[in-house]
Amino acid sequence: MTNLTYTAIFEQASDGGWSAHVPDLPTILVGADTREAAESLLREAVDLHLEDLKEQGIPRPRPSTYAASVDVAA
């Protein structure tokens, strides 16, 4: 099995909690109290989603999203 690397986006909410999603797998969205917990939940959700696709005979989506930080003068 080939490893794929998907871009994950983590966002902190105003209440301090965290949400995370994978743009290439738009049905996945998780939330947790900490970034670490959100990352753990996201990994589990991606694994389960990809396994479900495999069982349905649907090919895994190829990663196509790239994220980068942009520095700007403040």
Nearest CA to 52 out of 28, 19, 22, 21 is that of: 28
Q: What is the pTM of this model?
A: 0.87
**Long-range contacts: 10-18, Cβ < 8 Å, 24+?**
10/35, 10/38, 10/39
pLDDT of residue 54 exceeding 70, the answer is yes
Q: Which tens digits make up the pLDDT trace of 29-52?
A: 999 999 999 999 999 999 999 999
Going from N- to C-terminal start, the domains of the chain cover 9-55
For residue 38, the number of C-alpha atoms closer than 13 Å in the C-beta half-sphere is 21
